[in-house]
Structure 1
Amino acid sequence: MKFSCDKQFLCEAIVNVSKAVASNSTIPALEGIKVKVTPNQVELTGYNLEIGITTTLMAITEGEGEFVIDSRIFSEMTRKMSDDVIVFELNENMTVAISSGNTQCSITAMSAEEYPELPKVDTETAIKIPQGTLKSMISNTKYAVSTAEVKPIFTGELFDIENGSFSMVAMDGFRLAIRNESIAYTEKSYFVVPRKTLSELSSLIRDNDGERECNIYVNPKNVIFDINGYLIISRLLEGEFHNYKISIPSEYKTEIILNTKDFITSMERCSLLIDSKNKAPVKCTFENGEAHVECKTPLGEINDILPASVTGEPVTIGFNNKFALDALRASECDRIKIQLNGGMKVIKMLPVEGEDFIFLLMPIQLR
């Protein structure tokens, strides 16, 4: 079995597929990339039993077959080849001979017999969404995904789709992030995708791919994202996701509109006085067209006054500086709207116009 293909395309494919290769597995084959050769094409697959990434390259081929090769050596050796075209030949003793220009080498391969099959998902019906929109939704909400395994369902993001409305939801028990979009898909679909899968998916979306579509296929256990010539296959998280809609306040007593950049800068100044040994809430008072931002720790004290539009009752509330900064940075808007119901109830952030995103975070009790 023999094949040759373009070095640049191959190197890029190896790097992307390697993201799903297992780093330490009881199945040795999963620590490598599976290479499958069929007429005129080569398929590369990385898989760690939770997420798989596969892609197909055009190639000049002789014969058919498959093998598994160490992902690190495969990547480095391919990248350091001297010519633009690389030739691979699998010998009977499971050695892969590699040649490019005046360079020749060989790498020991493994049989693909022990390489598990990727999960199958029906690809007849697709949920379609522009790649740029999907990447933006992930970017706006990923900060609120839980990193604790106490509740595994919260280590992923909910895809809540119904009647042409798509909400991506993340929460960790202290904060909640929702991004809303309209799509053409009208059926109901409700599933939770692991954080790692969404991170790898986002990394495969390039800046100039914004208008290209991502096709999503899902069944009760697995999801496939078809994007830019790659299939990302992932298990879904099991369990019951919190009914996030009941957590969203429908009314408010105070509404504040602030310049987002100014509020971020003020929070960053406060953060200079806060560390693991010196913890304190950021105290914010909203009244009379101003936001008074204060923080005091053994390291020092800061007082800021920012212009703000304040409607309703004056209020003083405590922010967790990190949670506030995560939400403000994720908003990606010039001005932010904050709605409050007193100093001890949930903080709601949203855009000045519409509800493309809704961020909720719990306040910190002030002494």
Structure 2
Amino acid sequence: MKFVCSKSNLVNGLQIVSKAVPSKTTMSILECILVDTTEGMIKFMANDMELGIQTIVEGNIVDRGFIAIDAKIFFDIVRKLPDNEVTIESDSSNKVTISCEKAKFNIIGRKGDDFTHLPSIERIDGVTVSQFTLRNVIQQTIFSISENDTNKMMAGELFEVDGDNLKLVSLDGHRISIRKVKLGNNYAYKKVVVPGKALGEISKILGDSTEKMVNIFFTDKHVLFEFDKTTVVSRLIEGEYFSIDQMLSSDYETKMTINRKELLECIDRATLLVKEGDKKPVIISIVDGKMELKINSAIGSMDEEIDIEKQGKDLLIGFNPKFLIDALRVIEDEVVDIYLVNPKAPCFIRDKESTYVYLVLPVNFTTVD
């Protein structure tokens, strides 16, 4: 095998597929990237058995073939080469030569036959969405995925297609994030749970173009995302997702309408007094015309007032500041409506059409003087 391509194309291709190289594995072949030119294209592929990524790199093929190369050493070498054309070739003994200008590396590769290819998925009845939209809805929900492995469903996101609606849902036991977007066409109903790891890596690869599209295909066990010259295949989380509708309520005793940026900056300032790992709540007092936010920690205390519009009862309630910050950061509206019932019931941040819904559970607190 022998091919020539620019360093920038190589780096871009390696950055994409490296996201599917496991950091720890008992199967050393999975620490490699497969380089395959047998079909007249330069393909890079990585697969950790849960997530697989393949991308096509622009370049000129001299001799066709394929070989597996240790991902870390391959990427480290290419990154430090001069910004010029790079030649990569392998011989029958699996020796790989990487050369650029006057630099030349010889490393040992592995037989491409040993590599586990991506599962074959029929591209039938797919869903199409813009890269911009998919990246946005992932980034607007993924922070609510649980980092605790005790419940596998919390490690994924519900991915639901219903007609011309796409809905993503994530939760971690303390909060729920929901985003809904309109699709360009009507599609058959689909409901799957995609691992958060896969969606996180996809969101890093996707561009911000509203013109470039992503095609998504489903099987019983896998989901495939196809965009630009990249294919991402993820194993699905099998099982029944939580009954979200039972957790959502339109009832409220207090409604607060507030400037989103002011509230976000106020909570952000309050966290200056919270050490990492400390679970000090922010305490919010809601009365007519104003909201007062207080925090009291070993470092010090802070209180601040923000003008609001209020409907309903006065309320004193405490929250984990991080959960409010995560939600407010990804909302684009200038003004947000926050619905509350009592100090022990969840609050809802949502717009009138429920294109976004963020549920946050309150926390117990002792009153700050």
TM-score between both structures, scaled by the size of structure 1: 0.93
Structure 2 residue 237 is matched with structure 1 residue 237: yes
My pick for the range that moved more, 3-12 or 277-286, is: 277-286
Structure 1 residue 276 displacement after superposition: 6.2
Report the counterpart of residue 130 of structure 1 in structure 2: 130
Report the counterpart of residue 148 of structure 1 in structure 2: 148
Structure 1 residue 277 displacement after superposition: 8.1
Secondary structure of 1:19 counterpart? helix
Q: After TM superposition, list the pairs within 5 Å mapping 1:134-213 onto structure 2.
A: 134-183=134-183, 184-207=185-208, 209-213=209-213
Amino acid at match of 1:206: G
Structure 1 residue 126 displacement after superposition: 1.4
Report the counterpart of residue 25 of structure 2 in structure 1: 25
The alpha-carbon distance between structure 1 residues 231 and 340, as it changes in their structure 2 partners (threshold 3 A), is: same
Report the counterpart of residue 361 of structure 1 in structure 2: 360
Structure 1 residue 52 displacement after superposition: 0.9
Deviations 1:147-187 (A, max 9, x none): 00010111111101112211100000110000011112421
Structure 1 residue 21 displacement after superposition: 1.2
My pick for the range that moved more, 34-43 or 294-303, is: 294-303
Q: After TM superposition, list the pairs within 5 Å mapping 1:1-367 onto structure 2.
A: 1-82=1-82, 84-183=84-183, 184-207=185-208, 209-275=209-275, 279-351=279-351, 353-367=352-366
Structure 1 residue 95 displacement after superposition: 0.6
Deviations 1:280-336 (A, max 9, x none): 432212221111212233433322211001012222222222212222222233211
Report if the CA contact (8 A) 1:87-1:98 is conserved: yes
Deviations 1:195-225 (A, max 9, x none): 1111111111233x23311111111111111
Structure 1 residue 57 displacement after superposition: 2.6
Report if the CA contact (8 A) 1:278-1:298 is conserved: no
Write the distance in 2 (CA, Å) between the matches of 1:79 and 1:299: 44
Amino acid at match of 1:358: V
Deviations 1:106-134 (A, max 9, x none): 22110122211211211122111111111
The alpha-carbon distance between structure 1 residues 81 and 288, as it changes in their structure 2 partners (threshold 3 A), is: closer
Identical pairs, percent: 28
Report if the CA contact (8 A) 1:29-1:112 is conserved: no
Structure 1 residue 54 displacement after superposition: 0.4
Secondary structure of 1:38 counterpart? coil
Write the distance in 2 (CA, Å) between the matches of 1:282 and 1:45: 47
Write the distance in 1 (CA, Å) between the matches of 2:28 and 2:37: 21
Report if the CA contact (8 A) 1:278-1:299 is conserved: no
Secondary structure of 1:216 counterpart? strand
Write the distance in 2 (CA, Å) between the matches of 1:298 and 1:19: 40
Secondary structure of 2:232 counterpart? strand
Write the distance in 2 (CA, Å) between the matches of 1:197 and 1:339: 33
Secondary structure of 1:187 counterpart? strand
Report if the CA contact (8 A) 1:128-1:185 is conserved: no
Structure 1 residue 240 displacement after superposition: 2.0
Amino acid at match of 1:3: F
Structure 1: runs of 5+ lacking an equivalent:
none
Report if the CA contact (8 A) 2:258-2:336 is conserved: yes
Write the distance in 1 (CA, Å) between the matches of 2:222 and 2:39: 29
Write the distance in 2 (CA, Å) between the matches of 1:304 and 1:335: 18
Report if the CA contact (8 A) 2:279-2:320 is conserved: no
Write the distance in 2 (CA, Å) between the matches of 1:127 and 1:20: 23
TM-score between both structures, scaled by the size of structure 2: 0.93
Deviations 1:58-112 (A, max 9, x none): 4333443211011122223223334632222221211122333333332211012
Structure 1 residue ranges (4+ consecutive) displaced by more than 6 angstroms after TM superposition: none
Write the distance in 2 (CA, Å) between the matches of 1:118 and 1:39: 16
Secondary structure of 1:188 counterpart? strand
Secondary structure of 2:250 counterpart? coil
Report if the CA contact (8 A) 1:51-1:233 is conserved: yes
The alpha-carbon distance between structure 1 residues 120 and 271, as it changes in their structure 2 partners (threshold 3 A), is: same
Report if the CA contact (8 A) 2:9-2:58 is conserved: no
Write the distance in 1 (CA, Å) between the matches of 2:81 and 2:354: 51
Structure 1 residue 4 displacement after superposition: 1.9
